[in-house]
Amino acid sequence: MSLVRFENLHEVRRLCHWGPIIALSVIAICSTMAIIDSVIWYWPLDTTAGSINFLMLLNWTVLILYNYFNAMFVGPGYIPLGWKPENPKDTQFLQYCRICQGYKAPRSHHCRKCNRCVMKMDHHCPWINNCCGHLNHAYFTSFLLLAPLGCSHAAFIFVMTMYTQLYERISFGWSTVKIDMSAVRQFQPLMPFSVPAFAATLFALGLALGTTIAVGMLFFIQMKVILRNKTSIESWIEEKAKDRIQHYQTGEEFVFPYDLGSRWLNFKHVFTLSGTPRGNGLEWPVHSKCHQYTLTIEQLKQKADKRVRSVQYQAVEDYNGACCPLNKGFRTFFRTPCTEEPRIPLSKGETVLATRGTKWWMYGDKIVSEEEMRAGVRVRGWFPRRCVEKCHYDTAANESTSDKKVN
C-alpha cells in the first residue's frame, strides 16, 4: 500500500488553494458535527450498536482523508522531462511538447496548471488542486465513493439526533406546530442540544446531503471512465476521428485501442490490491486490432487536418456564462466540467471553434471581430453543448486559431 510522500515542500503548497480549503472544511464540519451528535444521540459506551456506529463514523473519516491526500500528493504521474521513446523511429508517431522539451507518451497530455505532461490525463481537478491521471485515478475514485457514503451516514446521524432531541419538545395542534427549545427533558443528555447546536446540525445536514449528491454524480462519471478505459480527452479524440472518417469517406474502422474487451479487465487495470495501477504510464495494453501508437497517430492526423482541428459551431441559445446553469437541463447542470477554466457567455448567432469537449459541455474559442483580434482579445472557455449546433468548417479561421498551438 503506497503512502503519501513529499518529494519537496512545494507539494504542500497544493493545500493553499480554494479547492482543498473548501473540501477539507466540508469534511471537518461534517465529521466533527457527526461525532458530537453521535455522543448526544447514541452514546457509544452504552451499547454495542452505539460503539459500532461511532467506530464506523471514525472509519469513514480516516478512509476519506487517506484517499483524498493520496489523490492530491501521489499525483497522476508525470512524463519525465526530455523523454524520448527507446526506438528513435517511434518519434514520428508522437507529438513534441515544447514546454517539457520531450515527446508526449501515448495517453499523456500537457496540463497548463501543473505545467507538465501528465500520464493518462483525464482532467485537472481543482478540489485536489492536481490532475487526475494514471497513478492517482484509483485514489481519486475511491474518495468519490467514500465521501458520499460517509456523508450519508453523517446525514442519518444528524436526522436522528434532531428527531430524538426535539420529539418531546414538539406539541402538535390542529393548525400550529410549536417548538419549545427551552423545555427540560426528563433525562438530561450528556451534551446539551441548544439552539446553536440545532442550527449547526441543520447546516451540517445541508452540507452532507449536497456533498452526497454532487460527489456521487462525479463518482459515476469516473466509474464510466474506468470501465470503458477511456478518459474524457480521449472521448473527444474518438468523436473527431469518427467525424473525420465520415467526412472523407475513407472506409476506416476506428477501434479505440485501450478498451481491453471487458469492464472487469478495465477495472482491474486501475484498481489493484497494492493501490498502484498496472503499467508504467508510458506503455499500455491495447486492443488486438491496434498498437501502441494508434491513438497518437489519429491525433497527428487531426492536427494535420485543419478541418477537424477546430470544429465550428454556431450558438442557437443564449448562455450567460454561469458555472452551473439551472436553465440548460438537469444533466448539463450536474455534468458541469470540474475545472477552473472559465465559461464563456454566448449570444444566439455567435460562432465558436470547439477544440475539445464532453457529452454535455464543449471547450473552445469564440470568434471575435477583426478589431478585437488585432487588439489581442481572445475569448476561450467552456459552454453547454446544447447551446450550439455544428456548422460548416472555416479553414481560414482554423488556421488563425491553430497558429496559437496549445501543448
The catalytic position among 125, 131, 132, 387 is 125
Q: What is the dihedral of CA 191, 193, 198, 204, to 10 degrees?
A: 20
109 closest CA partner among 119, 99, 96: 119
344 vs 111: CA distance, rounded Å: 20
CB 113 within 8 A of CB 124: yes
Contacts of residue 279, Cβ cutoff 8 Å, sequence gap at least 6: 134, 269, 285
Contacts of residue 68, Cβ cutoff 8 Å, sequence gap at least 6: 23, 24, 27, 128, 139, 143
User: Would you state the cell numbers that stand for residue 68, as one nine-digit string?
Assistant: 483524498
82: left (phi over 0), alpha (psi -120 to 50) or beta: left
Say how far residue 60 (Cα) sits from the centre of its chain. 21
Give the Cβ contact number of residue 311 at 10 Å.
22
61 vs 12: CA distance, rounded Å: 21
75 vs 71: CA distance, rounded Å: 6
Give catalytic status of residue 131 as yes or no.
Answer: no
CB 130 within 8 A of CB 70: no
Active site amino acids: 125
